[in-house]
Amino acid sequence: MSQKPIPKATSKPRSIAVGIDIGGTKVALLAEEIRPGDDNDKYNYKTAEIARRRFATPEGIDPGGIIELLRDEIAAMLNEAGRDMSEIAAVGAAVPGLVDENGHLLAAGNLGWSDFPFRARLAEVLGVPAFVEHDANAAALGERWIGHARDLHSFVFLALGTGIGAGLFLDGRLYRGAHHAAGELGDLIPGRGGLGKTPIKARPLSEFIGSGAIREIARDASGEDLDAASFIRAGQSGENSELKPLAEKVVDYIAIAVISLITVVDPEAIIFGGGTSSAGDELIERVRDRVRNRVHEIPKLLRSALGEDAQLHGAIYGALTQI
């Protein structure tokens, strides 16, 4: 959010902001028309969707390669909408890894990336100002811009997906931590049995509530290939007696994550996002039941207003800050 604009090399009028959400399995793109407010405050900018696109994240691709691919995919997306790359004013990207305040990628373990000048390279390849942020942080910015957190000063975006992360927006700004690793909730060890073990054997929280881990649990128990949200809904409905206790265990661990966030951060709200959160309000209510009487005060527990587009909108907001 504090990244200083990289000057663009053209004076041609531009009116499109592009948001990029890079995930471990898919990449999503969103192009929107920019409509500045009268006061030029980025929080008051209005946008209108022009086009969107999605494609699989190529296995083994390096960060330089993904940026080259992004250029081609963005060009194709705009071309299909009758628009042109020359109309882009700025671009923002949400990436699944640690990012410093200058948009330098420190590490993205799931993709095997590390120490890469992602923002500078993205700006160079596309020829426009760029913004790059950790995906959970980007989602928090999206909610702060046009979602549930518009009027909040301190909140957490809890990303429940392939990985488990938390975007911490505290006292009116993103909080990154001393080493840009704040919110890496998936690394939390929920029991003493994991102490002293290697990361693989320690069984961190992501091994209990990450969407890939949940899919494997469902497959082993029932033979069904269920995504995380479907697994939790099936267990909550009671229709599958084998899945019910397993789903309850997953909800228990999500509640542990929520209690940890409340006791350390004491936010006004925790906003649930990521694929697992699509299990719905029933999931949040079951978490609330487990949190009740365990903390001094329960913050608002909300489903993301932006759904799977939270990271995209946060990336677009970041792009607007570069104009």
% of the chain exceeding 90 in pLDDT: 69
For residue 309, give both structure tokens.
Answer: 């587009």
For residue 203, give both structure tokens.
Answer: 């069984």
Does 7 score more than 80 pLDDT? no
CATH of domain 150-304: 3.30.420.40
The winner for highest mean pLDDT among 29-43, 147-161, 236-250 is 147-161
pLDDT of residue 1: 55
For Cα atoms 16, 17, 20, give the angle at the middle one, nearest 5 degrees. Answer: 135
* β-sheet with 130-134: strand ranges across: 46-56, 26-35, 16-22, 88-95, 130-134
**Least confident stretch, 33-42, 90-99, 154-163, 287-296:** 33-42
| Domain 16-144+309-320 fold | Nucleotidyltransferase; domain 5 (3.30.420)
* β-sheet with 105-108: strand ranges across: 98-99, 105-108, 113-116
Does 262 score more than 90 pLDDT? yes
pLDDT of residue 163: 85
Task: Give 241: exposed, middle or buried? Use CB within 10 Å, 0-12, 13-18, 19+.
Answer: exposed
One-letter identity of residue 106? L
Q: Where are the domains of the chain?
A: 16-144+309-320, 150-304
Q: Can you say whether the dihedral through the CA atoms of 303, 306, 308, 314 is positive or negative? A: negative
Q: pLDDT digit string (tens) for 11-39?
A: 457 899 999 999 988 999 999 999 876 66
Task: Give 115: exposed, middle or buried? Use CB within 10 Å, 0-12, 13-18, 19+.
Answer: exposed
293 Rama sector, left if φ>0, alpha if ψ -120 to 50, beta otherwise? left
Nearest residue to 97 (alpha-carbon basis) of 16, 194, 22, 27: 22
Confidence of residue 10 (pLDDT cuts 50, 70, 90): very low
Contacts with 155 (C-beta within 8 Å, 6 or more apart), sequence order? 140, 143, 144, 149, 169, 267, 268, 269, 270, 271, 299
Cα(first)–Cα(last) distance of the chain, in Å?
Answer: 13
Give CA 206 to chain center in angstroms.
Answer: 15
* Average pLDDT of the residues of the chain: 91
The winner for highest mean pLDDT among 67-71, 249-253, 280-284, 289-293 is 67-71
Nearest residue to 8 (alpha-carbon basis) of 117, 79, 85, 106: 85
For residue 44, give both structure tokens.
Answer: 């008051």
- Catalogue the E-assigned strands of 161-224: 164-170, 173-174
Q: Is the pTM of this model over 0.85?
A: yes
Q: pLDDT digit string (tens) for 103-140?
A: 999 999 889 999 999 999 999 999 999 999 999 999 99
Q: Which helix (H) or strand (E) holds 89?
A: strand 88-95
One-letter identity of residue 294? R
